[in-house]
Amino acid sequence: MKRKWLVVMLIVMTAILLAACGDGDKKEPSSSSNEGGNTNNKEAGGQFRIGMEGGYAPFNWTQQDDANGAIKINDNSEYAGGYDVQMAKKIAEGLGKELVVLKFEWDGLVPALQSNKIDAIIAGMSPTEERKKTIDFSENYYTSDFVMVIKKGSKYENAKSIQDFSGAKITSQLNTTNYTVIDQIKGVKKQTAMDTFPAMRVAVEAGKIDGYVAERPEGISVAAANDKLTYVKFEQGFDTDIADTSIAVGLRKGDANLEKINEILKGISEDDRQKIMEEAIHQQPAAQ
């Protein structure tokens, strides 16, 4: 009887062990399936991380709250507003991704893109041939022209030609076409390039420079924000390529989102773009 009982016990234990092994085999595919599902969910959404300077109103600026649709800057107490932010919102929405804004110095934008810290540069950046050697660009999302920002009441206020600034102390931002075109002014006293446009505004108001080259929205923005400054629109202006005065989205070489971003931009009418720019000029903080 004991022997029979032992045999029965062995059969029961063997059955239990086989059942346990069977359950374990069934769990593996289930686990793999779940992991695959999580990966697909991330790929379907995710973040659209953009870099900007946060100091080039009306294209982009920083403020202390989310008024007028401003976006919180990642790892920062400030918010980013402006034309670039509103265009970035439309692009992120079209891509089905969450917009994340990161702030960098102007010279740090391209390295940040190349090192995968951001997915795109949306920062009032022109798609020049020199930049195209290292990054790709979308179709233009804004086109403008160059003006000269000066102090109101200065002797240059009635200038018609860039050559009227011969002998003037002129500058613009480092590593921009705005700065290189200054060489077209004969006899100009080209000053050291500056890091930011707010710094240039201060320099003009203080009389340290006679003016700086900027795109027209910056000129309009300055005149609206500071009653001591104005800008000159030229009848005989700088000789430039359209790429020098256009604005586009900067992307890493071979970025698969380029075609989709171009489709999104094509869906934004010229009237809508101008309306967004007008609102940005009106909404910009006075200090910027």
Nearest 5 degrees, angle CA 226-CA 183-CA 199? 30
Lowest mean pLDDT among 42-51, 185-194, 202-211, 216-225: 42-51
Our CA dihedral for 153, 157, 158, 161, rounded to 10 degrees, sits at: 160
Which of 4-8, 35-39, 117-121 reaches the highest mean pLDDT?
117-121
Predicted confidence at residue 285, as pLDDT, reads: 86
- CATH 3.40.190.10 describes domain 47-143+245-283: yes
Predicted confidence at residue 22, as pLDDT, reads: 45
Domain boundaries defined on the chain: 47-143+245-283, 146-239
Predicted confidence at residue 20, as pLDDT, reads: 45
Predicted confidence at residue 287, as pLDDT, reads: 57
Lowest mean pLDDT among 34-43, 118-127, 208-217, 255-264: 34-43
- Write the pLDDT tens digit of every residue in 89-113: 999 999 999 999 999 999 999 999 9
Grouping H, G, I as helix, E, B as strand and the rest as coil, residue 90 is helix
Grouping H, G, I as helix, E, B as strand and the rest as coil, residue 217 is helix
Percentage of the chain with pLDDT > 70? 84
Predicted confidence at residue 230, as pLDDT, reads: 97
Please give the CATH number for the structural domain made up of 146-239. 3.40.190.10
Predicted confidence at residue 286, as pLDDT, reads: 72
- Average the pLDDT over 270-287 and give the result: 90
Q: Is pLDDT above 80 for 120? A: yes
Percentage of the chain with pLDDT > 90? 80
- Average the pLDDT over 124-152 and give the result: 96
Predicted confidence at residue 225, as pLDDT, reads: 87
**Same fold across 47-143+245-283 and 146-239:** yes
Predicted confidence at residue 130, as pLDDT, reads: 93
Grouping H, G, I as helix, E, B as strand and the rest as coil, residue 75 is coil
How many Cβ atoms are within 10 Å of 71's Cβ, its own excluded?
18
CA distance 7 to 160: 109
Q: Is pLDDT above 60 for 118? A: yes
